[in-house]
Amino acid sequence: MTLRLFLLWWGRQLFSLIPQRLREGRFMPARPVLFALPQETHLDLTLSFRDRTTALGRLGLSDHEDSETRSRCQSALKKTSRPARLILVLPDTQIMQRSVTLPLAAENDLRTVLGFEMDRLTPFPAETLFWGHAVTQRDPAQRTVKLSLSLARRAVVEPLLAPLSALGRTPDTLENASGTKRIALSPRRGAQRFGLSDPRRLAGASAALMVVALIGLAFWQQSLRLGRLETEIATLRPDALQASALRHQIEDHRAEAGIVQGAHKRWGDPLEILSALTDALSDRTYLTDLSLRQGQLLISGQSIEPTALIQTLSRMPLFRNPAFIAPVTHLTGQSASQFSLRIDIGAAKGSTPGNGAPRSDTPRNDTSGGDTP
């Protein structure tokens, strides 16, 4: 018996942890509500479903009219996707309400404690009342809990239950018209609806909840792990970006070096060309202009022996086809002449310098400046 009560209490506690929006059916089909409103000689029945209210008829007038009302009620309830709640609406004067303060330790089983204390709290024995409670305030400092206790006398309510028995239903709740006073009848109905009255079913439900909790814990741990990994990634991202930028710079430098190296192979190394040209020029020759473009070296300057410069450059393996590109002009009053030369860089295709191959574009020497190359 103790185990059964414990399992029932545990089941109610677990059920109370379900969010209200799920219990009220926001994510499930709406539950219809059948209202029974007492009149002097009968009960008016109305069905509220999906924001629509339908009058079903009256109970308690005659057997014929009761049969029609039962038929309409059963036909309307068959169209709903969930069982309807039956609420008996009582006048405000028939539902009494008072505030009760109890020790906080009594919160574990308030219904049992209130059942024992009913004779002290009200002038009526507990067995003569329908009653319900709702916690309104908890005071951990004073270790007390304050309740709102709602009461309705059985002598007033039970005569109204007889017409409803023709429907094969008993009310789930007693309420006043405004819904501020509420008494839940048959408090074990919710446990039975979810199979919590049977300890074996409750144990199965508890095991299922444990499995769900373990699955949720696994997802939670995975979420924490992913969060830690994202934090580590965010920490390492600056270093990774810097390494990527350095790698791109290295690749760019390699590409530039490859381009320069290819140009050197095709057009010659400028430093090597300058070194060879320096060796070829005599002390009595100096340059006023020099340009190197796409394998051609253009030089201008003054020399006492321009023709000897052509011969000297022709003997060097790095230079090919030296030729005057302008008349050699003798400078008035000086022993030097002004010259302009074009020189191809590198050996000719298909021949090797020094192999006896004939050279072309051999200039005719003329120190007077009257001839052209």
Structural domains in the chain, CATH included, are 2-206 (3.30.420), 270-345 (3.30.1360.100)
The C-alpha atoms of residue 145 and residue 100 are separated, in whole angstroms, by 8
Distances (CA, A) of 234 to 48, 217, 230, 345: 55, 25, 6, 56
**Residuewise pLDDT in 10s, the chain (373 residues):** 566 666 666 776 676 666 655 555 544 556 788 888 888 777 888 888 777 787 877 777 566 667 777 777 777 777 666 677 788 888 888 888 889 888 888 888 888 888 888 888 888 888 888 888 888 888 888 889 898 888 888 888 888 887 777 777 788 888 888 878 888 886 444 444 444 444 555 666 777 888 888 888 888 888 899 999 999 999 998 988 999 999 889 998 888 888 877 777 777 788 888 888 888 888 888 898 998 887 888 999 998 888 888 888 888 888 888 999 888 888 888 888 889 999 988 755 554 444 444 444 444 444 333 333 3
**Distance of alpha carbon 282 from the chain centroid:** 78
Looking at residue 362, its pLDDT comes to 40
Q: Work out whether strand 182-184 and strand 173-176 pair parallel, antiparallel, or are unpaired.
A: antiparallel
